Amino acid sequence: MNPIKDHLKKNLDIVFVGFNPSIRSAETGHHFANPNNRFWTILYQSGLTPKKFIPSEDYKLLDLGYGLTNIVSRPTKAADEIKKEEYKEGRAELIQKMIHYQPKMICFVGKGVYQEFSKKKNIDWGLQEKSIVDGTMDFVAPSSSGLVRMKLAEIVDIYKGLRNVL
């Protein structure tokens, strides 16, 4: 399966970084396309978007000052299929992308994504004290996967923190 296209440009307010594309995302060519993924609902309910976008509208986030990418580009059924080498390569690529595009904030969609990126183990939700890429802020939010056991309202509250930081 082919990786999906990043939606990035310089000086975005937020770049959302996921683990990697789902099989459904690879099939459709759009981010967060699995029907069980709550990403688009979370963005809308947190007030980050004016409406609930659908995956085929993922590129429209650029107009709102938001971008989309992943730490690993290879699509898989589940994140536990990602190999350590892929994380290592993906981390290096992601750092270079963020240096190039210089977003104000990087929102990691899942603690595990940030753990792989930062090499830190103990991480709190929200804005991190020290960023990995100079000139950006790191924000850790729960994964939007339907497998996450947190209540949607709790997840939405954490994402509301993105607006407050900006």
Domains in the chain: how many in total? 1
Express each pLDDT in 66-108 by its tens digit. Answer: 999 999 999 988 888 999 999 999 999 999 999 999 999 999 9
Judge whether residue 1 has pLDDT over 80.
no
Phi-psi sector, 146: left (phi>0), alpha (psi -120 to 50), beta: alpha
The predicted structure's pLDDT at residue 78: 81
Q: Looking at the predicted structure, is the pLDDT value of residue 135 above 80?
A: yes
Examine residue 27 and state whether it is found in any structural domain, yes or no: yes
Average predicted confidence (pLDDT) for the chain: 95
pLDDT band at 58 (very low <50, low <70, confident <90, very high): very high
In a domain, 74, yes or no: yes
Domain containing 138: what range? 14-165
CATH code: domain of residue 67:
3.40.470.10
Residue 114 lies in a domain: yes
- Specify the DSSP element, H or E, that contains 39: helix 39-45
Name the nearest CA neighbour of 61 among 77, 42, 74: 42
In a domain, 2, yes or no: no
CB-based contact 38:49 (threshold 8 Å): no
Distance CA 61, CA 100 (A): 19
User: What global pTM score does this model have?
Assistant: 0.96
Q: Look at residues 66, 74, 88 and name the one whose alpha carbon lies nearest to residue 16.
A: 66
Q: Is residue 112 part of a domain?
A: yes
Distance CA 138, CA 103 (A): 10
pLDDT for position 137: 97
